[in-house]
Amino acid sequence: MRKNILYILLLTIAISNNISKTAQCSEIDLFDSSVIQSLPMLQLQAEVDKLLGSNDPVDIRHKIHIVWELVDRLKKEKNKTDELMRYLEQGLRHNAWNLKYQLDYATLLKEKGKAKEAQERAEIIATYSEKDELIDAASEILKKPKLPSIPVRKVLDGKEHTIILVPVGKVDVWLLFELQKKLQEVLKTKVEIQDFHISAPKYTRDRRDIIIEDIRERLIKQSELPDISRLLKDMSINKSDLENDKVVIKIANRINELTIGKEAVEAFNKLLEESIGKNSQWDINTLYSKVVEQTGNEKKPKLKYLGICNLDTYTTGSNFLFGTASGKGYGIISYRRFSAEFNESPPNRTRLLDRTLKQALSSLGFMYNIERCSIPTCPRTYPNNLEEHDAKSTELCSKCKEAFEKALK
Ligand SMILES: [Zn+2]
């Protein structure tokens, strides 16, 4: 009995144990953001000094977020510039690819009259950053022009083949323009950017939903086992009741209570509460429908609308999805999982553009009714993960190239 139940709730128990362990710990939990944020300034500074003085680069990198918390607080205070610069520099020694703080440092260097040093850092931000705000701020230091704004919507007559890139929610403008340029080069057709003011709806799934779904799947799979079926019977729960989240939580807590005790119930409920709004995801079909509804009453077959968003997208039964499209001439792609921020890797604008371009070519193919490709390096081949996506080239295979040429005639 115990073995099966432990298997079912492996996830919850592991997390519950973890929570109770940290709760028992007398030291400050440096990984609990609410604890860090509520630390008094002097205590936070003492923790940061202790960390930076430890000469343990692995530990410093692991806990670098407390240095950045201190930096953020110092930024709000007056007459703390020297102190702020000292912590920024020390933090960047351990987290040099954090371009947000590189920008803060470059800005302060400029204010201090150290123009050359400021420009050197600004140049790196302007070259590598994947975010509009940072690129613009770095351009200002470098006295370079700002990014253009998204063109306003204009009505097209539909006589000419045109791909229209449509931002959904907040999208980085640099990426839209670079993608436009690349698609024009590759497909040799007209590509426009148009703002239909499509806002991002509320997320449709978060970490709490995923935890509950995981337990539900385990319960359904094992509901025929004698111990589980007896438990469900004792609780007067039918298999069909498992569709209800509240029922799943109730069973999880009953098992937690039976196997560990009240503390596990409390820890599990706390975990669920803390998971609300975390790792939020959007059902790609909801976003696709928005693109169709808000762009597509024109019925002009030569116009294709490709939505672009920076939201983590999925569809029922999948952890994530890079994009979806249909032969009706509409599609939507997400670059969220291509970004350095999502993957916690150093920012790299060229990489992000290439990844987005490959996905755009893949989705556009479906919008022109070109069937899925089977050449591993062709951008139109289905990738099972980001590694396979990266292994693809940005150049179409000869068959896909021909198919696009034919469709765009
Ligand atoms: Zn191909």
User: What is the chain's pLDDT, residue by residue, as a tens digit (409 residues)?
Assistant: 444 454 455 445 444 444 444 444 447 788 888 889 999 999 999 999 999 999 899 999 999 999 999 999 999 998 899 999 999 999 999 999 999 999 999 999 999 999 999 999 999 999 999 999 999 999 999 999 999 999 888 888 899 999 999 999 999 999 999 999 999 999 999 999 999 999 999 999 999 999 999 999 989 988 888 888 899 999 999 989 999 999 999 999 998 888 888 888 998 999 999 999 999 999 999 999 999 999 976 678 999 999 999 999 999 888 999 999 999 999 999 999 999 999 999 999 999 999 999 999 999 999 999 999 999 999 999 999 999 999 999 999 999 999 999 999 9
Ligand 1 centroid to Cα of residue 395, in Å, is: 9
Left (φ > 0), alpha (ψ -120 to 50) or beta: where does 379 sit? alpha
Ligand 1 centroid to Cα of residue 178, in Å, is: 22
Ligand 1 centroid to Cα of residue 322, in Å, is: 18
Residue 21 lies in a domain: yes
Please tell me whether residues 67 and 99 are part of one structural domain: yes
How many Cβ atoms from other residues are within 10 Å of residue 170's Cβ? 12
Please tell me whether residues 290 and 188 are part of one structural domain: yes
Residue 393 lies in a domain: yes
Domain span at residue 39 reads 2-141
Residue 150 lies in a domain: no
Please tell me whether residues 188 and 334 are part of one structural domain: yes
CATH code for the domain in which residue 326 is found: 3.40.390.10
Please tell me whether residues 24 and 117 are part of one structural domain: yes
Question: Which pLDDT does position 264 carry in this prediction?
Answer: 86
Of 274, 306, 321, the last residue of a domain is: 274
Residue 148 lies in a domain: no
For residue 111, what is the enclosing H or E element?
A: helix 99-111
Ligand 1 centroid to Cα of residue 371, in Å, is: 9
Handedness of CA 200, 349, 295, 287 (dihedral sign): negative
Ligand 1 centroid to Cα of residue 287, in Å, is: 26
* Residue with tokens 């086992």, as numbered in its chain: 225
Ligand 1 centroid to Cα of residue 373, in Å, is: 5
Q: How far is CA 373 from CA 78, 361, 363, 379, 390, in A?
A: 59, 11, 12, 8, 16
Question: Which pLDDT does position 101 carry in this prediction?
Answer: 98
Ligand 1 centroid to Cα of residue 38, in Å, is: 54
Question: Which pLDDT does position 1 carry in this prediction?
Answer: 44
* Contact of 392 with 378, CB cutoff 8 Å: yes
Residue 219 lies in a domain: yes
* Contact of 281 with 203, CB cutoff 8 Å: yes
Residue 291 lies in a domain: yes
- Which amino acid would we find at residue 338? F
Please tell me whether residues 268 and 298 are part of one structural domain: no
The reported pTM is 0.87
Question: Which pLDDT does position 387 carry in this prediction?
Answer: 96
Q: Which residues surround the ion ligand 1 when the cut-off is CB under 5 Å?
A: 373, 375, 378, 380, 397, 400
Please tell me whether residues 267 and 291 are part of one structural domain: no
Residue 112 lies in a domain: yes
Ligand 1 centroid to Cα of residue 110, in Å, is: 49
Please tell me whether residues 262 and 137 are part of one structural domain: no
Please tell me whether residues 100 and 33 are part of one structural domain: yes
How many Cβ atoms from other residues are within 10 Å of residue 48's Cβ? 22
Please tell me whether residues 325 and 256 are part of one structural domain: no
Of 243, 274, 305, the last residue of a domain is: 274
Please tell me whether residues 39 and 112 are part of one structural domain: yes
Residue 177 lies in a domain: yes
Ligand 1 centroid to Cα of residue 159, in Å, is: 27
Please tell me whether residues 286 and 198 are part of one structural domain: yes
- Output DSSP code: residue 363: H
Specify the number of domains making up the chain.
3
CA dist 33 and 200 (Å) reads 26
CATH code for the domain in which residue 134 is found: 1.25.40
Please tell me whether residues 85 and 180 are part of one structural domain: no
Of 274, 298, 327, the last residue of a domain is: 274
